[in-house]
Structure 1
Amino acid sequence: MSMNTLLEVSGVSVSFDGFKAINNLSFQIAPAELRAVIGPNGAGKTTFMDIVTGKTKPDEGRVLWGEKSISLLSMNEAAIARAGVGRKFQKPTVFEDQTVSENLMMALSADRGWWSVLWFRPKAENRDRVAELAEEVGLLDQLPRLAGELSHGQKQWLEIGMLLAQEPRLLLVDEPAAGMTPEEREHTTDLLVEVAKTRAVVVVEHDMEFVRRLNCKVTVLHEGSVLAEGGLDHVTADPQVIDVYLGR
């Protein structure tokens, strides 16, 4: 694995009840890179993320991480998260009866053991970091509000902020544009582009216009394998991609 690769998935396959969800998949991403992953339903996008985060163990292949090429396959979900892999699911999971500030503060303290979390008392630097995170995701003016009062888009940004509080080196984001207003989608694009300047970000998305705005390399999955890879114009002009995905 080269020094400019953060994650390398190589020859990975996994079957469920005889169905090959991932079939000899290979994928690489650099330490500060934005990548969009697209493909039809059943292409293996979710299973790919499940494998990287340790939720699903493949039948064969390698998943190597970081400069020392550590195998993620030997680690459980919690250890992978601690190693720097963060995942955001499509439906935002925030503590709705807590304020935006409290949500971010809890995320800051989440890498401690349960005993120290119980006795966690925020210091000035913790409060400063919460303000930094809120500003980064566009919620600085929402800190005192209950998370349950936020719009759908704002909850998505809060969850991204909570993941960033963990200082991940790789962020896996599942369909962030779903259910957002045009203004929220625009802000989300800007946020992900900015985050990818300092860490790797993989965005699984169906919305082609959103992917175009990300202006990044695109990986097209089909039947658990990489069908095409490159700029959006390149992959959308590929006859195979048109046939299996865009033509439907």
Structure 2
Amino acid sequence: MSGALLEVDGISVSFDGFKAINNLSFNIDSGELRAIIGPNGAGKTTFMDIITGKTRPDSGKVIWGEENVSLIKKSESDIANMGIGRKFQKPTVFEDQTTRDNLTMALKNKRKPWAVLFYHSNADDRAKVDDIADEIGLSDHLDRRAGDLSHGQKQWLEIGMLLAQEPRLLLVDEPAAGMTVDERNHTVTLLRRAAETRAVVVVEHDMEFIRNLDCKVTVLHEGSVLAEGSLDHVTQNQDVIDVYLGR
């Protein structure tokens, strides 16, 4: 695996005869920040569905970690417990609970029924919540009801809830959608900081956001990798211009 944290090798999947993913291969290393771009229908969401166990590929391999564990037959919960966290485009938080409660509930603790039922916050957990709140920029909003946060703040809270689970790989779907310029800039900082201690894959359409991430870019088209490299490199690729940027 050449040190890769995640190796996707030759995966394909079809839905009613339509090949959503076509012999796609992709590697990401620990501590790497990667952006994925491509036109609608390129296979970006299906690609993440396969990694997280929501969709089973018809062929190919998905190999995880230093132990080279196959994820193909693992359940979504097993994959999450192995250290792969996913954030969908629309933020999903417990709106009637405070920011602090949301982060506390997401902490990587024992999930057995009795442990959950009789859970009491302790100093270590409170310190972890404070650290995460500081990292995502919500330290001043810990006691606010999550439903009262702005759209961007809810996005950060959900990212924080994923960080609380201590993932080794974070998959983030269109985090800049619906954000103000200041919120997008803060999100760039947040994701770059997160990638210092884990791998982060960001699916996004906002080219300025991608440029500010300043990372390697993978372009998908018709379920395959069309181009890969720096943003300047892929945006000068004529095939990328024809199928994506030219639109």
Deviation at 1:28, TM superposition (A): 0.3
Deviations 1:67-118 (A, max 9, x none): 0110011210000000000000000000000000000000015652233111
5+ long unaligned stretches in structure 1 = none
Q: 2:28 aligned with 1:52, yes or no? A: no
Give me the CA root mean square deviation. Answer: 0.8
8 Å contact from structure 1 (residues 12, 23) kept in 2: yes
2:245 — aligned with what? Answer: 246
* Identity %, equivalent residues: 71
1:212 — aligned with what? Answer: 211
8 Å contact from structure 2 (residues 62, 70) kept in 1: yes
5+ long unaligned stretches in structure 2 = none
1:2 — aligned with what? Answer: 2
2:202 — aligned with what? Answer: 203
Counterpart of 2:24, as a letter, is L
- Residues in 2 aligned to 1:192 and 1:97: alpha-carbon distance in whole angstroms: 26
2:114 — aligned with what? Answer: 115
1:161 — aligned with what? Answer: 160
1:234 — aligned with what? Answer: 233
Deviation at 1:121, TM superposition (A): 0.5
1:72 — aligned with what? Answer: 71
Deviations 1:179-234 (A, max 9, x none): 00000000000000000011000000000010000000000000000000000000
- Residues in 2 aligned to 1:40 and 1:93: alpha-carbon distance in whole angstroms: 25
State the aligned residue count.
Answer: 247
- Three-state SS of the structure 2 residue aligned to 1:21 is strand
Counterpart of 2:76, as a letter, is E
1:136-151 correspondence to structure 2 within 5 Å: 136-151=135-150
Counterpart of 1:28, as a letter, is N
Counterpart of 2:113, as a letter, is W
- Residues in 2 aligned to 1:231 and 1:188: alpha-carbon distance in whole angstroms: 20
- Residues in 2 aligned to 1:36 and 1:168: alpha-carbon distance in whole angstroms: 18
8 Å contact from structure 1 (residues 11, 61) kept in 2: yes
- Residues in 1 aligned to 2:102 and 2:51: alpha-carbon distance in whole angstroms: 26
Deviations 1:112-152 (A, max 9, x none): 22331111111111111110110010001100000001000
Counterpart of 2:2, as a letter, is S
1:183-194 correspondence to structure 2 within 5 Å: 183-194=182-193
Query: Which segments of structure 1 move beyond 6 Å, counting only runs of 4 or more?
Result: none
- Residues in 2 aligned to 1:51 and 1:111: alpha-carbon distance in whole angstroms: 27
1:6-155 correspondence to structure 2 within 5 Å: 6-108=5-107, 112-155=111-154
8 Å contact from structure 2 (residues 108, 166) kept in 1: no
- Residues in 1 aligned to 2:230 and 2:196: alpha-carbon distance in whole angstroms: 18
Counterpart of 1:9, as a letter, is V
After superposition, the Cα gap between the structure-2 partners of 1:97 and 1:22, relative to the gap in structure 1 and judged at 3 Å, is same
8 Å contact from structure 1 (residues 109, 120) kept in 2: no
After superposition, the Cα gap between the structure-2 partners of 1:109 and 1:231, relative to the gap in structure 1 and judged at 3 Å, is closer
- Three-state SS of the structure 2 residue aligned to 1:136 is helix
- Residues in 2 aligned to 1:182 and 1:39: alpha-carbon distance in whole angstroms: 22
